[in-house]
Structure 1
Amino acid sequence: MAATPYVTAEEFRAHPTYLDLDTLRSGIMDPDAQTAELTNVLLMASAWADTVCNQPLGAHRVDLSTQGRIDYDGHLVLFPSDRPVLSVAAVSYGSTLSRMTYQAAPAARVDTNQTIYIPVGRTAVRGRVWADITYTAGWVSTVLTDTAGPGDTFLTVGDATGILPGARYRLWSPGAEETVTVSPAWTPPAVTAALTAVTVPLAAPIVHAHTSGAGLSGMPADMRLAVINYTIAQLMRPDTAAEDSYPDTSLSPGTRQQDSRKDGSGLVAEAERILNSYARRM
């Protein structure tokens, strides 16, 4: 499960949902408590999106043991489980499990079908081989852990997984959205299980002010919209028990599907339609 939702509470509040978001926790007046509960729902919606797509959507490390082949041109050809592939950290390969050749930071190329090609030389034994590969897949989704102001040439993020030199990402601060480009000279840190704040240099200064907690994302906009749509559906509450859409069905509020009644199921269907184009085929 993602450490932070793919859409922050601040971003969701700015979306035209027309929902009452100040009474999510009944009888509690503290705005921070309401924001915390909204964040919980957004985390669940993010996890739901992962489930629909059969993989984590946020950038993450993958350790895959698989079989591949070495082609005539001396390339190790591998088919990743999680996509899109952002970078390859290491690979081992061999005709037997007891004799594996290791490469750190190989010069990998990924084609449009997400097939990974790693040059290993024509002297390598051609044909089917065993392989262990460590790579980063998914889309960048993190938050700032410090404020940033106009003219700053760096951002401090809570999770730098997947952030690449020269790549462009979106800061989604409501009313101050902007796209930033990472410095091409930056060297990303190694991906580890323990996340620590990382300072990322930019190719050009930012234009707007951004607070700690602002979202930085490489996710497609429609993927984020799917998370928003599903969250809206979960927060739509009938006015009375007589309007409950589920008394005569096997559906539960957490799995709203097609239903002719106006209960948010259309939003879920649209969210699924969007996510299906990004889903990993099993």
Structure 2
Amino acid sequence: MPAVPYVSAAAFRAHPTYLDTQGLNVDSTNPDAQTAELTNLLLAASDWADSELDQPLGAHLHTQTERIFVGSDQLLKLHADHGPVLQVVSFGYGYAPTALTVLTTPTVWVEQDTNIVVSLATAGTVAWSGSLQFGSPGVGGDLFTQAVYVAGHTATVLADSAEAGDTTLSVADPTGIMPGGRYRIWDPGLEETVTVDPAWIPPAPSTLPDTTVVSLLQPLRNAHAEDHDFSGVPADLRRAVVLHTMSQLMRPGTKDEDEYPDNASSSTRTEDSRPTGMGLLKEARRTLANYARVR
């Protein structure tokens, strides 16, 4: 499950859903409790999107092991299980899985965001660690490989407030943020797209990321409070998460037998001409299908 939802509660409420989100926690009148419950629903919708895509939508560190045939061109070609590939952290190869030559700063070519190509001719300058052959690896056989890479779309939140004119931002998770990359701050009424300074050096990717200060190419136009989305997730994927959350808010009480009856009595639902709320889920699935993983 993602650490934070791909769409924040504030961004969801700014979306024209026409749904009441102030009565989600029936045991509390505290607005913070309602926001917390809405966040839980958005987190569940984000986890659902991950399941539909069969991989995390948000940027993450992934390790993939596979045997690859070495062609006459001395190229190792790995089709990444997760995508889009944003950064290859390391690449190991060898005749035995326990004795790999590991390139910690590999020179790779990434095709169509998912195909990682490594040239053994270039890698040959690295000492060969394979115990089953002298010298560099040859052609016409299989090699054991292990690729560690960052894949997905940046999906984090501001870790601290920022003022108009600032040239830095603090984010909760820097995974996937690339120098020169463009990202959207989804702060309702104050949205803006920012470009990361090409000279900014990102921290080493980690499964336990830390709060990080990101340098911007241009100053912020607006002031922003913490916890607003800092995102590289395509807008239509964010909308899929919104649609799934809407469908859950429109569901009637569990005493009703029908899954999404058109006479739903849920207090969050206003008049809706659609026969059932399942149409929202179908629309969300259609959107996600365009980004589904291809093996």
**Alignment TM-score, normalising by the size of structure 1:** 0.90
Q: Which secondary structure does the structure 1 equivalent of 2:121 belong to?
A: coil
Cα pair 1:68 1:79 within 8 Å, conserved = no
What is the letter of the counterpart of residue 280 of structure 1?
R
Q: Which residue of 2 aligns with 1:42?
A: 42
Matched, 1:221 2:235: yes
Q: Which residue of 2 aligns with 1:206?
A: 220
Larger mean Cα displacement after TM superposition, 152-161 or 71-80? 71-80
Q: Could you tell me how far 1:106 is from its partner in structure 2?
A: 0.7
Matched, 1:195 2:205: no
What is the letter of the counterpart of residue 206 of structure 1?
L
C-alpha distance in 2 between matches for 1:19 and 1:82: 35
Cα pair 1:8 1:42 within 8 Å, conserved = yes
Cα pair 1:166 1:184 within 8 Å, conserved = yes
CA distance 1:239–1:121, change in 2 (3 Å): closer
Return the index of the structure with the highest Cα Rg: 2
Q: Could you tell me how far 1:79 is from its partner in structure 2?
A: 1.3
Deviation track 1:106-160 (CA, whole Å, cap 9, x = no partner) reads 1111111621012221764224211011100000000001011111111100000
Q: Could you tell me how far 1:239 is from its partner in structure 2?
A: 8.1
Matched, 1:232 2:262: no
C-alpha distance in 2 between matches for 1:96 and 1:240: 55
Cα pair 1:245 1:263 within 8 Å, conserved = no
Deviation track 1:50-91 (CA, whole Å, cap 9, x = no partner) reads 000000100000011112233433332111111110000011
Q: Could you tell me how far 1:195 is from its partner in structure 2?
A: 2.4
Cα pair 1:147 1:212 within 8 Å, conserved = yes
C-alpha distance in 2 between matches for 1:240 and 1:166: 49
Unaligned runs of 5+ in 1: 249-259
C-alpha distance in 2 between matches for 1:267 and 1:158: 31
Matched, 1:136 2:153: no
C-alpha distance in 2 between matches for 1:226 and 1:135: 26
Q: Which residue of 2 aligns with 1:252?
A: none
C-alpha distance in 2 between matches for 1:47 and 1:174: 23
Large movers: runs of 4+ above 4 Å: 239-242
> Quick one: which of 177, 185, 202 aligns to 2:191?
177
Aligned residues: 270
CA distance 1:56–1:205, change in 2 (3 Å): same
C-alpha distance in 2 between matches for 1:70 and 1:151: 52
> Quick one: which of 275, 279, 282 aligns to 2:288?
275
> Quick one: which of 274, 279, 285 aligns to 1:266?
279
Q: Which residue of 1 aligns with 2:23?
A: 23
The percent of aligned pairs where both chains have the same amino acid is: 45
Deviation track 1:83-110 (CA, whole Å, cap 9, x = no partner) reads 1100000111013334421100211111
Matched, 1:152 2:145: no
CA RMSD of aligned residues (A): 2.1
Q: Which secondary structure does the structure 2 equivalent of 1:101 belong to?
A: strand
Cα pair 1:69 1:78 within 8 Å, conserved = no
C-alpha distance in 2 between matches for 1:99 and 1:181: 41
Q: Which secondary structure does the structure 2 equivalent of 1:131 belong to?
A: strand
C-alpha distance in 2 between matches for 1:217 and 1:69: 37
Unaligned runs of 5+ in 2: 123-135, 262-272
Cα pair 2:85 2:113 within 8 Å, conserved = no
CA distance 1:71–1:204, change in 2 (3 Å): farther
Q: Could you tell me how far 1:167 is from its partner in structure 2?
A: 0.6
C-alpha distance in 2 between matches for 1:179 and 1:209: 13
Q: Could you tell me how far 1:27 is from its partner in structure 2?
A: 3.5
C-alpha distance in 2 between matches for 1:167 and 1:76: 28
C-alpha distance in 2 between matches for 1:49 and 1:240: 23
Cα pair 1:245 1:261 within 8 Å, conserved = no
Q: Which secondary structure does the structure 2 equivalent of 1:50 belong to?
A: helix
